[in-house]
Each structure stands twice: as C-alpha cells, then as structure tokens.
Amino acid sequence: MSDTGGFTQLRDAIEQRTAVVGVIGLGYVGLPLAAAAARAGFPVVGFDTDPAKPAQINAGRSYIDAVDGRVLADLVARGRISATDDLSGLAGCDVVVICVPTPLTRHRDPDLSYVEATTRAIAQHLRAPQLVVLESTTYPGTTREVLKPILEAAGHVSGRDAFLAFSPEREDPGNAAFSTVTIPKVVAGDGPEAQALVVALYGAIVDKVVPVSSLDVAEAVKITENIFRAVNIALVNELKVIFSAMDIDVWEVIEAAKTKPFGYMPFYPGPGLGGHCIPIDPFYLTWKSREFELPTRFIELAGEVNLSMPRYVVDKLAEALDRRLRLALSASRVLVLGLAYKKNVSDLRESPSLKLIELLEARGGEVSFHDPHIAEIPPTREWGHLAGRKSVALDAGALAGFDAVLIATDHDMVDYALVVRHAKLVVDTRNVVARLGLDPERVVKA
C-alpha cells in the first residue's frame, strides 16, 4: 500500500471521527445511515434534492420508521447532523456516501440516471482527498464502469483524489431484530487504500464489517441476496397456484415443511413483490448478463411468476364475488386492506397493493383502501394518478358497506376480528386470518 499524503490524512480523520460524512439521498437507506454515522461520533451532512426532507431533518423530525424522532432531534440539537438540498456543500465533506434510487425503465432496464447525476455533482464539488462510497444496489461493474469514468473525466484520479468504494445497503424496513448498526456490512474499495478507508469508515459505524476482494464482488453480493429471495418467493407463489387447484392449503404445507431442521428454509407467498430490492434488483443482473450473451432463465422466470401474482389475486377475488355473493367485480365495492409493501411500515415502494387497485378499477370495481401507517397516497413516479387518495376508517359500518375486503398487507395494528365479523367476504393473501385462529367462514385465501 502506497502511503500517499491524501490517504494518510483521510485515514486519520476517519479513525479520529473528525471526518465530515456526507450522505446523498435521505430515504430509507440514507437517513438511517446518516443517523448511525452521527451516533458513532462523525459530523454528518445529509443531502437531498427534495427540500422537504432536509427541512424536516433540521427541525428534528424523522419521516423514516427506522430512525427514532427523539434520537434524530437530539443529534440535530447537538450539531451532530444537518441536512441541505444544496450539493455545493459536498466540497466540505471528507466522505461522500451515495444512497440514491436505482429504478428500472419502462422496458425493465437499469435506470442509473440518479447515480450518474449524483456522481457528476460530486465531480463538480470534489475536494481531494475524498472517500466516495456507492451504496445504491446495482449490477456488478457499476462503480468501475460508471462512477470512476465520470470522476476521472473531471480530473479526479481514483486512488489519489477520490478513493472509490462500494458497500451494498441491507436495510429491512420494519425489522425490529436488525438495524443499520447490527447488520454486517460488506465493503470493497478500488485498490488497497480505498479498501482500508472504507473498512475504517464502516468499522466505526456498524458492529461487523465484511471486506471482499473487489468492487464487482461487493456489487454481486447484494444482487445475489435479492435474487435468492426473488426465486424462492416465486417458487412458493407458483406452488400456491398449483396447490389451490388441488384444494391444498399452501400455508399449511409451508408450516409443516419448516419443522424440518435442515435442508429447508420457509418463504411465503403473497399478492406480489414490493420494496426496492426484490422486484427490481434481479433485473439489473439480467440486463448485465446480456453483455456476456448468457441467459438468466431462473431470474426471468421468477420475475414472470411474481409479476403475475396481482392478476391471480384479482381473478380469485372476482371468482369469490361471483360464487359467494353472485356479484360481478364490475358492480362491487372493494376495500384493499394494507397499502404498504410489507407489514408494520409505511413504505410504498413497488407495493403490489397499488397494482391491485389499478387492476380492480380497470375491471370496473369501486376501490378504497385502509392502512394504519399511510393516511394518504403520496405522489409517485409510476402511480401519480392514485396520489391524494385517503385511507378510510375501519369500523363495522364502513366494513358493511363493502362487498369484499382484500387483505394485501397484514399490519399488526388492524383489528382482523372486526374485519372477519363484519365483512361480507374476505380475500386473504397473507394467511393472517388463519394465523390468528379467526372464523374462516367468509374467508378465501389467494
């Protein structure tokens, strides 16, 4: 390892926790990381192009469930963390961590526009030496092939001015057992000096750091984790359809199978996939594999199965309305229960509930929703036409006014006994009614 002056200066600042850490993108990944770095003793500046987010942070208000508002308010009051929408402040940072979205295009190709724009902003304001870390999930090769050329085209040499690294985010919204600090952090740097710096940075913030040999390996780790989940969820979703035709309860099968103490891991079916990771990230590898003329049949098949689940659920609902109530879906009022993509969070990213609403309305149904964590649907890029709709009350009178209740997300705060008692028909995609031992008479699993 060559001991350049810039490397030594930056390493000492990180080890002494005087390095200013800038976090770009203050969403479900960036804000928890910024708070964790501030709690570890680093001065932290958060950056987001949406001015509402820095305003809330500077007022000591958290809008992410994983960050306790009281903790954030204390960090702000003590001057440990601040936020801005002015990216020129990057010039004052020693470390810059990129936590921006990596969505798909309409053709399901990677959309790296946020990463590219952010890297150009860093290049414009970079003050050597800086450690630049990408956390956004992407395909293997992104840090080398996208970030590095942008920075070096602006005259910032990797390993001298900018020390490049990749560390995949592993946030799991709503998971009370693990947090940013307790989840092991995979890291890799562009060269030994960048590796040493990124290990030192995250070693000061999280409990365990897992160094790997290259940027590409670190990028592949995150893709592998998400493909593993996507393929296994697709498998149980497909089994759900097959077993339903055989009049076999897939949930009972899974509960019995998971009693085997080896060779089996339970995954659960649902109405579709949500969140940023599983519905999107596998397609990044599918796209990259085309460069090597290699097929990704398992990944693409899993995507097809999971993407088909909302339509399967709507078909089951339509069938249940017809058989049990002699009603057409086009003449029915449906309550979608749970809008978030997973239980006990307010995260709407890629939520199948939004697709369910669209499909139900396309078939003529009148649709409302209830979610104890989401009072109103916010504007989103793909679902802007649903923005502004408000969660309806969940009481006996309201339930009686719907022809069917579709349980799409099994939030713990919902009174399912009330739902089962007063709904004419319940279509349960999460097995929550059976799990709670409630009366299954008016319940159809989907």
Active-site residue numbers? 277
The torsion angles phi and psi of 115, rounded to 5 degrees, stand at -65, -45
- Token duo for residue 65: 């469930």
> How far, CA to CA in Å, does 440 sit from each of 200, 244, 394, 417?
55, 16, 20, 11
CA-CA distance, 400 to 392, in Å (whole number)?
Answer: 13
297-325 and 352-362 helices, crossing angle to 10°: 50
CA-CA distance, 255 to 346, in Å (whole number)?
Answer: 28
CA-CA distance, 44 to 46, in Å (whole number)?
Answer: 7
CA-CA distance, 133 to 27, in Å (whole number)?
Answer: 16
